[in-house]
Structure 1
C-alpha cells in the first residue's frame, strides 16, 4: 500500500492505494466518480479522459501514484453551484450527445482546448478532440458544440 495526496474536483484527499492501481480505478472505485469511463484500457478511445494539472490525460494509462500532488478534474467537477458548465450546455443545445459514453471525455478535451485557446479554428477543434472516439455522432455535432462554447 502507498499513501498519496491529490486534489480531485477541488477537494483534497489522502488515500491509501495499491501500488498497481490506475488513476481510472482510483477515481471510479475509491472516489465514486463514475463519469470517468473505461473503454479500451489502452489510451486509444478517450472514455477515461480527465484533466490533470491542466493537461488532458487518459486515466487508464496513468498509475494512481503518478497523480501524487496533482490536481484532477473529472466531468463531475465542472458543475458549479448546481449549474452545468457552458460547454456541457452547448453539447446539449446542439445535440452532440447520443449514447453518452464518450461525452465526458469529449467535454473535458473541449474544455482543456478552450482553456488554452478560447477561439480555436475548426482544425484546432478536430485536433483537440482527436484523442476521443465517438461511434454515434459522426463528430459534426461535437465540433458545433465546441464552436458554440468558444469564449465562454
Structure 2
C-alpha cells in the first residue's frame, strides 16, 4: 500500500464477503464490518480519516441481472450510507472505484470520458447511479470526488 509507505494511517472497513483479511496490510487498522451498517461506519469514521477510497461493491455482471435487489442494496444504498457518514463526519473527499461497465457497448475506440453511458447490465447501472449520487452530493454537500472507470479489475 503506497499510502502506508508514505506514512499515512489507513483504516480498512471490509465485510470480507469477497476478500480475505490476510490481504490487508498489517500496518492498516482493520475493521470487519459493512458500509450498510451505520455503527460500522461510525467506528470507521471515528479514526478521523481525511478521505475515503471506496472499493466496496458486488461486481458480478451476470449475477446482477438475476439479483438486482442485492446490487441495489449493497452498491447503491451502501454508498449512500457511506456518503451520509462522510457528511456527518466532515470528510469531504472520496475516490470511487467505478467501472467501464457504465459505457455499455463501445460506439468508438478507444473509449474516452466523453463516450455515452448506457450500461448493459445491472452492475454497470449501479456504478452509474453511484456516480450520479456523487455528483449530487458534490453539489449539495460539497463532497469532492473522483470516479475511476476501470476496464478490467484484477482478482475476484
TM-score by length of 2: 0.29
Task: Looking at secondary structure, tell me which structure has more helix per residue.
Answer: 2
The structure having more radius of gyration, on CA atoms, is 2
TM-score by length of 1: 0.29
By relative contact order (CA 8 Å, sep 6+), the higher-ranking structure is: 1
